[in-house]
Amino acid sequence: MISTNDFRPGLTVEMDGEIMQVLESQHVKPGKGPAFVRAKLKNLMTGTIIRETLRAGEKMPAAHLEKRRMQFLYRDADMFHFMDTETFEQTALPEEQLGDTIKWLKENTEVKVLTFKDEMVGVDLPTTVVLEVSDTVPGLKGDTVTGGTKEATLETGATVSVPLFINEGDRVRIDTRTGEYTERVESRD
């Protein structure tokens, strides 16, 4: 059993028969009345995100998820196909079950597929991914690292804010937890 006081991002619990992953939590102790926990939770079965206010110290059963290393192969309509890197067995997950993670999924990316009681419930992405900028306004002479930002569309279709010196064709590293640009990556050529 896990206490709501111990909530931290990434923790998974069973709540009302559903598997919930803690995205954010805040312990609140008002001047008057009992303490409580405000939590932002993601339902791993449906992909929906909810905000919940729970009593401080309330106990919930932990949801023990298994992680299997898999490789993302391709997208077919609203299904995403993965291959187990050990057994070469292929499985597919619907788009709604993956939620926002699809913004960072590029073919041949290695991920950890989360399973609960032999049922696939989601994908755990690497902390950072390297993606190519497919569309942005051109950088101008004099744009520096300390300057402002502009919007850029990546090869997966995701839109992020990048520094002004980033151009189309540049490869950038993105933090998948926050969806933020971290650095430009030199080409492998």
Write the pLDDT tens digit of every residue in 156-183.
Answer: 888 999 888 888 889 999 988 788 899 9
Instruction: Tell me the per-residue pLDDT of 19-32, one tens digit each, with 9 for 90 and over.
Output: 888 888 899 998 88
The percentage of residues in the chain with a pLDDT greater than 90, rounded to a whole number, is 21
Strand partners, 151: 161
Q: What is the mean pLDDT of residues 38-43?
A: 88
Residue 66 has pLDDT above 50, yes or no: yes
How far apart, in whole angstroms, are the C-alpha atoms of residue 85 and residue 124?
15
Q: What domains sit in the chain, N to C, each tagged with a CATH number? A: 2-60 (2.30.30.30), 66-124 (2.40.50.140), 128-185 (2.40.50.140)
pLDDT at 143 over 80: no
Mean pLDDT of the chain: 85
pLDDT of residue 189: 47
pLDDT in tens, 73-123: 998 888 889 999 889 999 888 887 777 788 888 889 899 888 887 778 778
The separation between CA 32 and the C-alpha centre of its own chain, rounded to angstroms, equals 37
Q: What does the pLDDT read at residue 171?
A: 92
Give percent of the chain above pLDDT 70: 94
Res 54 pLDDT > 80: yes
Phi/psi for 158 (5° steps) reads: -70, 150
pLDDT at 187: 63
Q: Are strands 119-124 and 79-84 parallel, antiparallel or unpaired?
A: unpaired
Helix (H, G, I), strand (E, B) or coil at 6: helix
- Reply yes or no on whether the pLDDT at 188 is more than 60: no
DSSP-based three-state secondary structure for 49 = strand
